[in-house]
């Protein structure tokens, strides 16, 4: 179904109605946040990204918000909340930062300065993490402590820049300390994976680079490819990729056999009642699990189903029920299969936007919790980590949050770019904000080094899979570890070197 563009006059009317509602809300129900840059000038609304509210459990909180030049407004949602915004912090870079009123949450109307609040929040969180690190035996330089003390005396902008960097440095230091405790012994079974969609088209150099770095490949088993009609099955591509991986002593994992993104949902499946959808899903997942049961340990039973990839327009309750259906189907097809529920957009900011029809949306964490509470059997939490515009400290906190679900985690897709701007050859043309500056191959290498170090250090993370080894046909813009000609970028060489240092 093609969604028509909303006419400009309709958007104008909606903007006026929204502005009127904002104006009619009494000041006693509003929190205003000043956004002033380091130069003293108002930060333009266009430079305040991803502004949203979260509750004190760090879940997205639906609330009416308005962003203006130099300020933002929140209509008080009736419970303590924190606010987040993607802003450029001179001296560090452009990432999402939090402000939580010193851990108490905002509850009262009035005016506050966002940068001052964000600096205080970050300093408090880094100090708390520092205590944990010291208890673990992590040794930090005197320079680290000096910078942290200086942050308490600096201006809000400088303090925020210092503590953003300190948080990242502390996160990586803790990860390296945990790895050092392994005494050079590699983690048995740890997955270094990548989708194998470039086989065989990208040629022998691609194949050699793939085998040098990875021990698991993900095969293409998208619905529209293997089930183009209700009665037709074509596993040729999946079988070819599988045979190549297994013949080279690599493990194999099929991508999700029932994935409801619009781009891979065949027309024959659309506009069916849920009673038919769940039977079809059951049969397809069972068929795929049975077909590859002697070739893989894994089956992704749901992918991006947290009210995000939902071309079939199922209700939240149906999405939860469908997870149970596909869970049982996978086990019927392969009694020993390890079932994965895979999620994207892990902070779930979309769920902070109130819907006009009164329907609620769930973050990935809430969806997984709902599945567990509903008795859905699955073994592994799958998380996608394309560069999220959050810094390493917040990524580390998010991983620990998902670990509280009590299941091992696999990073099922990961990517970041190596150049700024538009990539005409990528599936997603435009990338994310720069991390510490505009993206370069060197900065991609730094992020890859840090994120793999963090993930490898955590016992509950079973593996990491990069998405698309090479540029030219990648999903994420300039997201390959190889260039378009399959020559290695610095990130490829750094990851290869890290693996060797870990005993692989």
How far, in Å, CA of 460 to CA of 332, rounded? 27
Neighbours of 473 (CB within 10 A): 15
For the record, the structure tokens of 271 come out as 């506009």
How far, in Å, CA of 120 to CA of 98, rounded? 10
Q: Are 34 and 113 in contact (CB under 8 A)?
A: yes
DSSP-based three-state secondary structure for 84? strand
How far, in Å, CA of 74 to CA of 22, rounded? 10
Q: Are 289 and 229 in contact (CB under 8 A)?
A: no
Torsion (CA) 439, 34, 345, 366 in degrees, nearest 10: 160
Q: At what angle do helices 316-333 and 274-291 cross, to 10 degrees?
A: 30
**Domains, the chain, ranges and CATH?**
8-119 (no CATH), 191-501 (3.20.20.80)
Return the DSSP state at 186. P
How far, in Å, CA of 451 to CA of 96, rounded? 17
Of 127, 75, 129, 85, the C-alpha closest to 106 is 75
Place of tokens 């012994």: 185
For the record, the structure tokens of 101 come out as 């009123």
What string of pLDDT tens digits covers the 504 residues of the chain?
333 344 444 334 344 445 555 668 999 999 999 999 999 999 999 999 999 999 999 999 999 999 999 999 999 999 999 999 999 999 999 999 999 999 999 999 999 999 999 999 999 999 999 999 999 999 999 999 999 999 999 999 999 999 999 999 999 999 999 999 999 999 999 999 999 999 999 999 999 999 999 999 999 999 999 999 999 999 999 999 999 999 999 999 999 999 999 999 999 999 999 999 999 999 999 999 999 999 999 999 999 999 788 999 999 999 999 999 999 999 999 999 999 999 999 999 999 986 677 677 899 999 999 999 999 999 999 999 999 999 999 999 999 999 999 999 999 999 999 999 999 999 999 988 999 999 999 999 999 999 999 999 999 999 999 999 999 989 999 999 999 999 999 999 999 999 999 999
Give backbone dihedrals phi and psi of 239, rounded to 5 degrees, phi first.
-65, -40
200 cis-preceded (ω within 30 degrees of 0): yes
């Amino acid at each position: 179904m093609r969604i028509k563009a909303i006419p400009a006059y309709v958007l104008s009317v909606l903007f006026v109605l929204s502005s009127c509602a904002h104006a009619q809300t009494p000041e006693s129900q509003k929190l205003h946040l000043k956004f002033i840059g380091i130069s003293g000038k108002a930060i333009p609304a266009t430079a305040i990204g991803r502004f949203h509210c979260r509750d004190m459990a760090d879940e997205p909180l639906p609330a009416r918000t308005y962003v203006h030049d130099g300020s933002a407004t929140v209509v008080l949602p009736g419970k303590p909340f924190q606010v987040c915004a993607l802003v450029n912090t001179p001296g560090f870079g452009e990432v999402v930062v939090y402000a939580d009123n010193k851990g108490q949450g905002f509850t009262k109307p009035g005016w506050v300065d966002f940068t001052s609040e964000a600096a205080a929040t970050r300093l408090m969180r880094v100090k708390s993490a520092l205590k944990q690190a010291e208890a673990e035996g992590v040794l930090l330089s005197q320079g680290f402590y000096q910078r942290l003390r200086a942050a308490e005396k600096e201006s809000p902008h400088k303090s925020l820049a210092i503590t953003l960097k300190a948080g990242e440095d502390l996160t990586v230091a803790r990860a390296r300390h945990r790895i050092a405790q392994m005494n050079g012994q590699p983690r048995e079974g740890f997955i270094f994976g990548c989708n194998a969609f470039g086989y065989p088209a990208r040629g022998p150099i691609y194949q050699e680079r793939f085998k040098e770095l990875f021990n698991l490949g993900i095969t293409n088993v998208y619905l529209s490819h293997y089930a183009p009609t209700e009665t037709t099955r074509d596993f040729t591509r999946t079988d070819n990729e599988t045979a190549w991986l297994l013949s080279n002593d690599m493990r194999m994992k099929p991508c999700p056999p029932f994935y409801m993104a619009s781009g891979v949902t065949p027309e024959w499946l659309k506009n069916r009642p849920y009673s038919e959808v769940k039977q079809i899903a059951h049969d397809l997942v069972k068929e795929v699990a049975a077909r590859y049961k002697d070739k893989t340990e894994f089956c992704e039973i749901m992918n991006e189903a947290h009210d995000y990839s939902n071309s079939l327009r199922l209700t939240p309750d149906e999405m939860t029920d469908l997870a149970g259906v596909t869970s049982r189907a996978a086990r019927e097809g392969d009694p020993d299969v390890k079932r994965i529920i895979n999620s994207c957009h892990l902070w779930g900011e979309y769920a902070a936007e109130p819907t006009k029809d009164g329907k609620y949306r769930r973050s990935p964490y809430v969806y997984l919790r709902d599945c567990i509470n509903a008795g859905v059997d699955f073994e592994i939490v799958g998380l996608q980590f394309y560069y999220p515009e959050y810094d390493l400290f917040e990524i580390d906190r998010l991983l620990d949050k998902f670990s509280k679900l009590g299941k091992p985690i696999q990073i099922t897709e990961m990517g970041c770019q190596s150049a700024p701007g538009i990539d005409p050859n990528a599936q997603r043309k435009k990338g994310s904000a720069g991390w510490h500056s505009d993206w370069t191959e060197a900065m991609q290498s730094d992020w890859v080094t840090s994120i793999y170090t963090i993930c490898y250090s955590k016992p509950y993370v079973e593996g990491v899979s990069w998405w698309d080894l090479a540029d030219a046909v990648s999903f994420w813009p300039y997201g390959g570890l190889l260039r378009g000609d399959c020559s290695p970028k610095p990130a490829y060489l750094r990851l290869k070197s890290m693996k060797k240092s870990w005993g692989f």
